[in-house]
Structures are given as C-alpha cells and as structure tokens.
Structure 1
Amino acid sequence: MKYLIIIALLASLGSILTGFLMDTSNSEKLIGFGVMGMFFIVFPLFSYYRWKDKNVKDYMLNKENLDKMRENQQNKKY
C-alpha cells in the first residue's frame, strides 16, 4: 500500500510538472489530471493507510474524553 501511494504521488506530480513545463495543447489537461489524481486517489489512499488501525472513539469528543482532558489540564502545573 505504501509503495502504491508513493507511485501515485509521483505520477500525479510528474503529470503536473510535465503540464507546466511543456507548451502543448494538452498541457492544461495534464495539470488537471495530476490534480484530480492527487485529490481523488493519493489523499484518500493516504488517509486510509494512516487511519486503518486506529480507534475513532479515541478521537471523538464525548463526556468521558472531555473529563479526561479537564483532569489532565488540572494536573499540569506551569
């Protein structure tokens, strides 16, 4: 998965740079495809890869987590 993300990132960046550097009729399409690949393929894959083993309840603001935060703030002395 890690290598797939890197390859997709390099392909998207390569497409964007090629579109900027080449002065052809398809340069705007290359830039567009690179940006679309970045936002629709690379970012979702990266987000899934980083969050796949995490527990979402640890990051939600519920009563228990708010109480833990308040307790931690009271214990810290600056």
Structure 2
Amino acid sequence: MKLIIKILAISILIAIGIGFYFRMNNEMILGDRIIGIAVLASAFILMPIFLYVRWKGKKLSDYTFSKENMEKMRDNRRN
C-alpha cells in the first residue's frame, strides 16, 4: 500500500509539472486542466488512501479529549 501511495504522489507531482510546462508554452487551458485534475486527484484519491494507511490499527479514543484522558493528563502533570 505504501508503494501505491508513493507512485500516486510522484505521478501527481509529474502531472502538475506537465501542467505548468503546457502553461508556459501558451497552452493555458490544457495546462490548467492538467493541474486541476492533479489537484483533485491529490485531494480525493491520495489523501484518503494516505489517511487510511496512517490511521490503520490505531484507536481514535487515544487522541480525543474524554474524561479518562483528561484524568490521565492531570495525573501526569502532578508527577
């Protein structure tokens, strides 16, 4: 899964570079479309896959403010 993320991230960066290349050569509409598709792919494909991989196997309750976690923080602060 990490390999897929790396390949996808590199391909998105290459697409953004190609989009700017087309914009520099007076193909503004095509360059903007390529950049836009790359940005959308990074937001709606790459980011959710990345977040899934990073959060897999972790408990969300460890990272939220609950009464138990607040008590643990108070106990750690006193020591």
Q: Please give the alpha-carbon distance, in whole angstroms, between the structure 2 residues aligned to 1:74 and 1:13.
A: 48
> Is 1:16–2:20 an aligned residue pair?
no
Pairwise CA distance, 1:13: 0.9
1:15-70 residue CA offsets vs partner (Å, 9 max, x unmatched)? 11110122324110000011011111111100000101101111121111000011
Structure 2 portions without partners, runs of 5+: none
| Superposition TM-score, scaled by structure 1 size | 0.89
3-state SS, counterpart of residue 43 of structure 1: helix
5+ long unaligned stretches in structure 1: none
Identity %: 40
Residue 50 of structure 2, aligned match among 34, 40, 46: 46
How much has 1:3 moved relative to structure 2?
A: 0.8
TM-score by length of 2: 0.88
